[in-house]
Structure 1
Amino acid sequence: MSRNLIDVNLYLVLDPELCGGIDGMVQTAVTAASHGATVVQLRAPKWKKRQWLECAQQLKAALAPLNVPLIINDHVDIALAVDADGVHVGQADLPVQTVRALLGPKKIVGLSTNNLANVQQLLTPEILQCIDYIGVGPVYPTTTKLDASPVLSNDEMRAMFAATGDLPAVAIGGIKQGSAASMIAAGANGVAVVSAICGQADVAIATQALLAEIHHARA
């Protein structure tokens, strides 16, 4: 099965509290997507399913004209209900083989990896045919994910990026403006951010600044 292409250059993970609820999340997503964010993920661990559904429906409609994919964290049923572009799961969520079977071949599937052993375990044909990108982290301490794994050492992070081959890898966890460039230098294909965009006084300027930093690092 060929891999579904996804541009993980600047990956926005929405936070309900930082954004101020559903309206704020949709507004943040649209502004960020209009100024360079390449992916938007809905993540709301404290929400009930009805809130997930309402927000996902609004995000899908708002992002579709911008051609920016909507990824749902963990909840495959919500992704199916709104025809989202894909699902991202962690190590303790549904296995990626199950997620792929439920979503079909054309949707995007992402997987979090928290250490080098995670990456080495997924580098098999059975797993690789199910995923389109991985998240690597946390690369810095983070306050937006209370159950985050221990922060990676610089050496382990670089080893994880090196081990992924042509599988896109996005760095995540505590990344702010000023630290995105170091992730690209370490081998990441992109960076995922939460508070570096969510809750910022000017979402457009924050997004543009991150994008410029990423482009400069690649240049």
Structure 2
Amino acid sequence: MTVILLRHGRSTSNTAQTLAGRSEGVDLDEKGREQAQELVRRIGSLPIRAIVSSPLLRCRRTVEPLASALGLEPVLDERISEVDYGQWTGRKIGELVKEPLWAVVQQQPSAAVFPDGEGLAHVQARAVAAIREHDRALSEKHEGDVLWLACTHGDVIKAIVADALGTHLDTFQRITADPASMSVIRYTALRPFVVHVNHTGDHLASSLTAKPSEKGDGESKDVPPGDAVVGGSTD
């Protein structure tokens, strides 16, 4: 099972340098709308079987062109919604960097709890649970490997990728998730494999369309699913 974690396109809040959080009505800006259209070309002929999205407007707008092209109806899941930043919501980033909590968010995010909002540790728990649940359900529904897409938010993606890498949440600020970027994780019974992080190029790797036994990029039909090749590659 492989999931493409798509961050929404650039929003009006990104442009204004404010922390959108769960503010209502934050839409894509002109660049973000272009990015949403470009997704159809960037993903190309990859066999996406399902689209799951944060219910916030900027995510729904981002997947609209792709969903239309693929003939899919996005499923909205609150568990991959943006962080509830509480009293920080809507404030200028330039103001927030002066808050004592900002240093905690940067240096020990697992301990960061936003005033009247939620903690980043809770965000990771809910988001990872949602991704893994959708992954299992789609695997059972389609009886095998499925490629699917989840459109969500920067901090949420970083938290999911950190979990897949097996690193502590306190290291998640080392991960980048730019607007309209795609990070790809393949889940197996044994472990996740992080295939791409912050992909912003024209096309995702064509290897995503191949089954493990058909690949020549480091996987082998002789290696059990979920095992890593000793030596790093079969090429």
What is the TM-score when the length of structure 1 is the normalising length?
Answer: 0.34
| Structure showing greater Rg | 2
What is the TM-score when the length of structure 2 is the normalising length?
Answer: 0.33
